[in-house]
Amino acid sequence: MALLSQDQVDFYKREGYLIGLPKVFDEEQMKSLNEGLQSLVGQLDADEKLLDIREWHLSSRWLYDLCTTPLILDYVESLLGPNFYLWGSQFFAKEPRSKSRVGWHQDSYYWPLSPHHSVTVWLAFTDVDVANGAMYVIPGSHRAGLIKHITTEEEFLNLELELGSFREQDKVALEMKAGQLSLHDDAMVHGSPANNSDRWRIGLTIRYSATDVKCDLSKAPLFKTMLVRGEDTFNHNPVAPIPAEPYARLPKDQYLHMERVIK
């Protein structure tokens, strides 16, 4: 069921993002979700971090159920239409006083998907604000098409956008309370600064695409989809089964490396 108002849909189409929606999960529900996250963390190897919990919706029924929360899907349906699939999920965390930053970039530059018709949900597991490294977006930048990226020596980046190709002073911080979410277009210019606070910043990104979107499997051979709304009359992409085990991890050799940046 499409849930967003026409004004909200129009804002998203014009600006490329949406924020300020009511909480999807209340305080007690977030406490339970953070406990579930710790169960996933317990599956990580000693050399892995939260960032390595990627595409575990393919192996964890708990995470799959979270990614298919009806209210979240209602928001996405308003933007993608009645037929869409889930294909990506990843936890992004910045430790207190972490100096890690993410340069300006566009997701669609890294994803071998066509046409560009995808939505990313960013679900806050902690309060997210400017002090602890909230993500910034450049409103309307998704309408400019792909912008030139350049090589960088940043710790977590291979490429970022060339300065001067957009107006950095137009940036908007996506601040949220735990349990809220934001939505953004796959061509939105975005990035995030260091976490200068004594608090964690943790969020879950969930990627959805309309069923007409096809992946170039020669570039991303591990790409798998899970239809979460409607029907798929295109059958462009491999389909994965719904997992049974609540907190099973995905083997490392099954991680989907479609991108080289950290949100």
In terms of pTM, does the model score above 0.75?
A: yes
Higher pLDDT, 220 or 260: 220
Contact 92, 236 (CB under 8 A): no
Tokens of 154: 């940043």
Question: Is residue 154 pLDDT above 60, yes or no?
Answer: no
3-state SS, 210-236, equals ECCCEECCCCCCCCCEEEEECCCCCCC
Which pLDDT score is estimated for 158? Answer: 44
Does residue 165 or residue 24 have the better pLDDT?
A: 24
Residue 255, classed as helix, strand or coil, is coil
pLDDT tens, 187-236?
999 999 999 999 999 999 999 999 999 999 999 999 999 999 999 999 99
| Superfamily of domain 6-254, CATH level 4 | q2cbj1_9rhob like domain (2.60.120.620)
In the chain, pLDDT over 70 holds for what percent of residues? 90
Identify the DSSP state of 137.
E
Structure confidence at residue 148 (pLDDT): 63
User: Out of 41-45, 138-142, 211-215, which region has the weakest mean confidence (pLDDT)?
Assistant: 138-142
Q: What is the pLDDT of residue 166?
A: 62
